[in-house]
Amino acid sequence: MSKYVLIADDQAEVREWVADILRELGRATVETGRADQVLPLIQEMGDALSMVLLDLDFGQGQMGGMDALRQVREAGCQIPVVILTGKGSVRAAVEALKAGATDFIEKDAHVEDTLAAALSRVERFAQVVAENRRLREELRGVQEIVGESTAMREVLAQIERLGPVPRPVLVVGERGTGKELVARALHENSPRREGPFIAVNCAAIPDGLLECELFGQEENAFDGAPFKEGRFDRADGGTLFLDEVGNMGPEFQRKILRAIEYHSFERVQGTETIRVDVRVIAATNADLQAAIRQGAFRADLYDRLAFDTIRIPPIRERTEDVDSLARHFARRFHEEVAGVPVLEFTDAALTAMRAAPWPGNVRELKNFVERLATRLSEPRVEAAHVNSFLQPGGQAAAASSADPGVGPFASRVEAFEHSLLTTALDAAGGNRRKAAAALELSYDQLRRLLAKHHIGSP
């Protein structure tokens, strides 16, 4: 479907003339005779608009075209705006370019040619912008994976190599190492990057409910069960991330094997075979080979999931990354929470952090840095602070000794709420249902709070 071009000119005959030219060029149009309607129309039509043709000279007593242009740019709208100007008004058009216009054309006998050329330039520019956005998205997942150690360089090389391969990948790592982040990076570096990325924590959902969650459910008039779309449906054309696959029971392993192998399934209480185009990326912190020997995990499912395997090393195997991780989390927390300063780590503090065991790995280190940021009265972090916080009971002691009066009330409350959520998640091993129970919240309440604070996998 062709996108619309907005024509804003106070002369009806000009609007009609330009609209006829655009229709001959295969473009649909929407028109207004008032400059003060330009921004509302842009906001109302959103992505349905491809560009704006804006006259500068509106009738006396009306908002002018230059003011409308400034209003659009001040509102943060980046839509291309091409100025329509009368002959001899080039100086005003140049001023409009300085104010954020994309191009200008004169309303003369050659307007059809110049309008076609302007459209071509705008569309080429839009393609470049879209490609740049795609490349940024492609790099985003990898850029979020912090680490310069040899082990992490190998992980990044595997992501680059396996991302474009349309086969399942098994991501292996201890809790908190960032398995979902690696899965997202694989998705962003694949031809499916424009499709959905759907994540499911298999450990958080009982097998009886997991089947309905993944495959969906047909409406049933007898028991009143409503239709439910499954995660496989939602991931069609994209990637389905199955976290903690080692927790799936034997019967469900058989069903998931068929779905992965044949790209098809039946919904609960359904008979129709549904076909989907989904790439599966699985993750586990368990020893699946040992589970196979014990009869707890199917060897054929393992073979199907592990076309290739990416192992994420724990922090104790890449202590040289602690410095960059700590600084990264300090900067990110500063950006997320108003009023929180960027922590400055002394060399002694970083040495103490490298010596710590970090059994919760990157997630634990992230939570630790955020707690430091919310509980210290100044941004400089000394070794004594690190050692105090790492000692049993040290975090509680630090919390009670922190100055509650430092900083604006709202930002301190927001920072404490963020810290409370991350602490509960860490204590629950990343299991959101357990964290919600510990905080005496419903699962939906916890999800809303996590979304509010942009808390996800590290």
Structure tokens at 249: 């029971």
**Per-residue pLDDT at 88:** 59
In angstroms, what CA-CA distances link 110 with 107, 261, 325, 355, 404?
Answer: 8, 61, 59, 74, 69
Tally the domains of the chain.
3
Of 257, 241, 259, 240, the C-alpha closest to 249 is 257
**Per-residue pLDDT at 89:** 67
Q: Quick check: is 457 in a domain?
A: no
Ranges of residues in the chain whose predicted pLDDT is under 50: 1, 393-408, 457-458
97 and 162 both lie in a single domain: no
- φ/ψ (deg, to 5) at 140: -55, -45
Q: Pairing mode, if any, of strands 264-266 and 273-275?
A: antiparallel
Of 197, 208, 207, the C-alpha closest to 234 is 197
- φ/ψ (deg, to 5) at 248: -75, 140
**Per-residue pLDDT at 2:** 57
Instruction: State if pTM tops 0.75.
Output: no
105 and 189 both lie in a single domain: no
Cα 185 to chain center, whole Å?
Answer: 11
The three-point CA angle 10-12-17 to 5° equals 115
Task: Assess contact for 35 and 68: CB atoms under 8 A.
Answer: yes
82 and 175 both lie in a single domain: no
* Integer Cα distance of 361 and 229 in angstroms: 35
**Per-residue pLDDT at 412:** 54
Q: Quick check: is 458 in a domain?
A: no
CATH number at residue 97: 3.40.50.2300
Which residue range is the domain that position 392 belongs to?
Answer: 316-452
247 and 168 both lie in a single domain: yes
CATH number at residue 434: 1.10.8.60
What are the b/e assignments for 220-248, b being 16+ CB within 10 Å?
Answer: eeeeeeeebebbbbbbbebbbbbbbbbbb
**Per-residue pLDDT at 389:** 84
% of the chain at pLDDT higher than 70: 87
**Per-residue pLDDT at 121:** 80
CATH number at residue 151: 3.40.50.300
